[in-house]
Every structure is written in structure tokens, then in C-alpha cells.
Amino acid sequence: MYEPRHFKIEAREEILSVIRAHPLGLLVTTGENGIEANPIPFTLAKDGEGRDVLRCHLARANAQWKSIGAGSDALVVFQGMDHYVTPSWYAAKREHGKVVPTWNYVHVQVRGQAYIREDAEFLLAQLNALTDQSEAGRKAPWKVSDAPEAYLAAQLRGIVGIEIAIESLSGKYKLSQNRSEEDFAGVTEGLGAETDAGGPVMAAFIAEKSGLIRP
């Protein structure tokens, strides 16, 4: 991934925080049918040796899992919030006009070796972890154990687990931090005034991360 210095997320834990906040990743692998990609919700976990791993499951009917052998190369892409940035928000537009549109976004890529896991113990643990992650904060969180045992057993037979040993992480906060103080302030103000929901959310995120991206 292209990572200009001013956009690169340096801290590993900061990259992992993006994955936790945006767990729906795009799983990309290659096999006999060429490149395959599917959007899948992931959980972060530790393996038996304490290393960070990504875990997910695919429907058994999804042929992508068949192209994953023991230690197949995998790429997982996590896309966070994003928003268009108009040059009209820049002070530089009023000063000299030498500005163009761009896009602000949060983006993470993970590379590693993928392994198929079909044992019921792994699958149930992954389902519990994914459910607890997704249901956290709800007044009456649903649990996997709420489903009838026979129904759950049938569902487990219909999925295949995947564990990806993380070998490299890369992330970008492209949040106008390469602009002047005046332009940066204009972008934050402009996003906060947008009528769509994404603008104010992005403005709040930039304000939250301002100490990190503009030390």
C-alpha cells in the first residue's frame, strides 16, 4: 500500500484499534480460479504462542475457502470512515486557488498466512467471540447459546473457520494533516457542517486524533 510518511499509522495498537472499530474486512486470496475476495466480519485474537491473529468463518458453500491451503497468502482490507473533501474548505483557495479535491479516509491492510480450521471447538469459540464483539453494549445482548442446540450444531456444519497469522500491518489516516493549519481547520469545520451523517462523524474523529496526526 502506498504510505506517504504524513499519512502512515506508525503505532501497531492504533492499527489494531481500526480493525476493532471496523471489523468487516475484505478477505483476498488467490487460487486456481484466480483472485477471490469476500467481505467477512473478523475478530482479533491471540494464538497459542501469544501472536496476533485474525479469525473469521466462511459459509461452506463459499468456494473461496477451498483455495486456502495450509499457509496460503492472504490480504485483508479494512475500510474505516471516509468523506469527500472539497477545495472550497481550504484557505488556500482564497489565497491563490491552487487546490484540488481529495478524499479523506481511514484504511488498514493486513497480510499473513491463512489456515483452514474445521474443528467444532474453534468454530464455536469464533462464533462466540464474534457475537460478543457485535452485541456488546446492547441492552439485551444475544448470545450463541440462545439458539437451540440442534440448530446450532447444524449451523456449525455449514461453516468453515479461517485463522490468519498476522505477518504485517499497514494503516493510513488520510485526514488532511498534510495541509496548513488554516486549511486543516477549514476541512474540519467544513466536515462538521455537512448535512450527511458522515461529515460530522469524520470531523469528530479528526478532532479526536488531532494530537496524533498533528503533533
- Residue pair 177/205 in contact (Cβ under 8 Å)? The answer is no
Whether the Cβ atoms of residue 111 and residue 167 lie closer than 8 Å to each other: yes
pTM, rounded to two decimals: 0.94
pLDDT value of position 119: 93
Q: Is 14 exposed, middle or buried (0-12, 13-18, 19+ CB in 10 A)?
A: middle
Selection from 50, 15, 177 nearest residue 102 by Cα: 177
Q: Is the pLDDT of residue 70 over 90?
A: no
The yes-or-no verdict on residue 62 having pLDDT over 90 is yes
The CA distances from residue 172 to 95, 96, 179, 186, in Å, are 29, 29, 16, 21
pLDDT given for residue 215 in this prediction: 79
Q: How far apart are CA 84 and CA 176, in angstroms?
A: 11
How far apart CA 55 and CA 123 sit, in angstroms, is 10
Domains with residue ranges and CATH for the chain = 12-208 (2.30.110.10)
pLDDT (tens digit, 9 = 90+) per residue, 96-152?
A: 999 999 999 999 999 999 999 999 999 999 999 999 999 999 999 999 999 999 999
- Average pLDDT of the residues in 14-24: 97
Buried b (16+ CB within 10 A) or exposed e, 79-90: bbbebebeeebb
Label residue 49 by pLDDT band (50, 70, 90). Answer: confident
Residue-wise pLDDT for 157-184, tens only, equals 999 999 999 999 999 999 999 999 999 9
